[in-house]
Amino acid sequence: MIDQRLKSVVRDVNDFPQPGIVFKDITPILKDPALCKAIVDAFEARLQADTIDVVAGIESRGFLFGLMLAQRLGKPFVPIRKQGKLPYRTVAQSYALEYGEATIEVHEDAFNAGARILIHDDLLATGGTVAATSQLVQRLGGLVAGYAFIISLDFLKGKERLADYSTQVVSLAAY
């Protein structure tokens, strides 16, 4: 099962990025091309490509598999970036993190109104970043088609926070 393969590779990093946080580090996955392919295969098997128009990946780890998934599904990829990183006119959304505050942006012309957007990130924790991304999608007239995560920390109840935007949540490994 992909769940067990991921859990055997993902490492815990204590006290990162601040004391008390146990960070789930996916970078060891990147050493294993077969596992990377299995991740994209698993997403493709669990998603309905005909309900998705665009894949949006959240900076920065959401870019790694988000772009591969978009390519596999034959869909455009849209980067959701930290404030000040995109070169064209943007729409911004501020939000609270588990350990601070942040602002994300998307180009104002990233997709057409009415587009169905799959939001991808490596990990779902409390859902703050993903909810902010969902708000950006809606502000640009898009529809949240669903979410795809490599890992979800279900004990932090991030899925519940996303239910107002979409109940279509795919997570390959849950903690």
Which residues are part of the catalytic machinery? Answer: 61, 98
| Residue 32 in tokens | 């294993």
| Residue 82, Ramachandran bin (φ over 0: left; ψ between -120 and 50: alpha; else beta) | beta
CB atoms within 10 A of CB 159: 19
What is the DSSP secondary structure assignment for residue 142, as one 8-state letter?
Answer: -
* CB 148, CB 170: distance < 8 Å: yes
Q: How far apart are CA 91 and CA 145, in angstroms?
A: 20
Task: Classify residue 167 by burial, with Cβ atoms within 10 Å: 0-12, 13-18, 19+.
Answer: exposed
